[in-house]
Every structure is written in structure tokens, then in C-alpha cells.
Structure 1
Amino acid sequence: MSLRTAVAAPFVQAGTNRLPRSDFVVDLSLDRDWVSPEQAKRLIDVAASEGLLTVEEQTLELTFDHASVTVPPDFVPDESILRERSTFERVLDALLAEGIDKQEAVAAINGLQSDLAITLEAAAVLYARRQGIDVSEAPNQAIEGR
């Protein structure tokens, strides 16, 4: 996942799971020239909403071990890392991670949405629950990220 790699890169470079916010912004914007300083600040918000970072005052902490990430030398993240994922996207990712076919999942979710006259997000959560997949955090992450 390029978001995870981009967020981890400054921590990997520093060899730690905690960094000052300013070091994170400087690393991504000035040192690596991946994003502007404003975009690096936006990335902090996105990463926090995705559960990849915790933010305490001016300190950032990864929620996973920085040593578990390898940043390829030619890695450059695409602009999609600056966009928060919707509840639907989070649930779909969870379904795919469990080995459910994407086309099958989307078709079933669309069917539930139509049959039950509910939102796409509600249909996705319902489908995941019916498959035995716990996605209870997906809607919470989307709400907290706003």
C-alpha cells in the first residue's frame, strides 16, 4: 500500500516509531520532494484517519513497527495517498483481504443496496457482516477522520 509506505518513510529513515510533526513534514516535502508542506500536513490527517498514525500535540507515532516497511529506492507515492477512503472503500478492502472476489462483493453489495433501499456504505457493512468479517471500525474511522 503506497499510503503505508509513504507514511512510514520518514520513520524508517529516522529509525524510530515517533517523530516530531515538523520532521515528518520536512522529510516528505523538502528532503524527498514527494509533496508540498501543505500536502504533508494533509497526509498526517489522512494517515491518522486510516489508523496508521497517532497524533499527540506535535508528535506523531506510527501504529505499526517502522521496521516492517521497506521503502524501495525508486518509490514515489501517487496523489491518491492524500485522499481519505470512504467507508465503502474500507469495507471493500477488508473483503478483498479475506479473499472475496471484488466483482462478487460489489455485485452483492449493490444488490443489497437496491433490495433494502439503504446506502452503499450500509450495504457494504451488512454484506461483510454476513460473510463473517468484522468491519466495525470502518465507519468509525471515516467519521473520526472528518
Structure 2
Amino acid sequence: MSLRVAVAAPFAQNGTRQLRENEFVVALSLDRDWFSPDQSKRLVDVATEQGLIERDGDDLAITFDPATVTIPEEFVPDEDLLRERSAFERVLDALVAEGLEKHEAVGAINSLQGELAITIEAAAVVYARRQGLDVSEFVPVARGAILESVSESGED
């Protein structure tokens, strides 16, 4: 997952699991020239939302071991990392990270969605659980999507 790689890079570069936000921004924008300073700050927000970083004031702590992430020399993250990703996209990323083919997972999730008449988020969570992945962090999002679709359709 390129988000995980981009987040791990500044921590690995500094050999630590904690950095000041400005150190993180400098590592991504000046040292690696991957993002502008504003984009690097946005990455902090996205990574925090995704649970990859915890923020305490100006201090950032990575929530996983950056030493477990390989950062290829030629790696350059895509700017798509800076946008908020849906629960479906995040579950799909987790499935692909576990070795499933993306197109097969999408097909199976779409089939499950039609079969169970549920939202794509809920179908992704059900499929991932059937594959043995712990996606409990996405259950509230999937449940919320189901409740939202029910209220929009006027059903109780």
C-alpha cells in the first residue's frame, strides 16, 4: 500500500517512531521531494484518519513498525493518497495487500452486494471477513451506509 510506504518513509529515514509534524513535512517535501509542504500536511490528516499516525499536538507517532515497510528507491507516491478514501476502497486495499487480485475481489464484492441487497461498503466488509481479514474498524462505516441508504429510500 503506497499510503503506508509514504507514511513510513519519514519515520524510517529518522530511525524513530515519533516525529514533530514539521520534521515529517520536511522529510516528504524537501528531503524526498514527493509533495509540497501543504500536501505533506494533508497526508498527515489522511494518515491520521486512516489510523496510521496518531497526533498529540505537534507530535506524530506512527502506529505500525516502519521497519516492516520496504521503501523502493524509485518509489514516488501518487497524489491520490491525499484524498479521503471510502471504506470500500480501504477494505479493497486490505484485500489486495493480503494477496487477492483486485479485479477478482471487486467482482466478488459486487456479486455479494447484489445477492444480499446491501451497500458496497457492507458487501466489502462481509467479503473481507469471509476471507479471514479483520476489518472490524470498517463495520461502523458499513452499518452507517446501510442505515443511510434505508433512510433515503424511506424504508424502516
TM (norm. structure 2) is: 0.76
> Residues 108 and 32 of structure 1: is their aligned pair in 2 closer, same or farther, counting only changes over 3 Å?
closer
CA distance, structure 1, for counterparts of residue 69 and residue 126 of structure 2: 33
Match of 1:25 in 2: 25
CA distance, structure 2, for counterparts of residue 99 and residue 72 of structure 1: 19
Compute the displacement of 1:21 (Å). Answer: 0.6
CA distance, structure 2, for counterparts of residue 102 and residue 125 of structure 1: 15
Given that residues 50 and 141 in structure 1 are in contact (C-alpha distance below 8 angstroms), is that contact kept between their aligned partners in structure 2?
no
Deviates more, 1:95-104 or 1:70-79: 95-104
User: Is the partner of 2:67 in helix, strand or coil?
Assistant: helix
Partner amino acid, structure 1, of 2:12: V
1:1-146 alignment, distance < 5 Å:
1-139=1-139
Which has the higher relative contact order, 1 or 2, with Cα contacts under 8 A spaced 6 or more apart?
1
RMSD: 2.4
> Residues 45 and 117 of structure 1: is their aligned pair in 2 closer, same or farther, counting only changes over 3 Å?
same
Paired residues, number:
142
Unaligned runs of 5+ in 2: 143-156
Compute the displacement of 1:10 (Å). Answer: 1.6
Partner amino acid, structure 2, of 1:48: T
> Residues 63 and 112 of structure 1: is their aligned pair in 2 closer, same or farther, counting only changes over 3 Å?
same
Deviates more, 1:73-82 or 1:40-49: 73-82
> Residues 129 and 38 of structure 1: is their aligned pair in 2 closer, same or farther, counting only changes over 3 Å?
same
Deviates more, 1:65-74 or 1:119-128: 65-74
Compute the displacement of 1:139 (Å). Answer: 4.7
Partner amino acid, structure 2, of 1:138: F
> Residues 72 and 108 of structure 1: is their aligned pair in 2 closer, same or farther, counting only changes over 3 Å?
closer
Deviates more, 1:48-57 or 1:82-91: 82-91
Given that residues 17 and 61 in structure 1 are in contact (C-alpha distance below 8 angstroms), is that contact kept between their aligned partners in structure 2?
yes
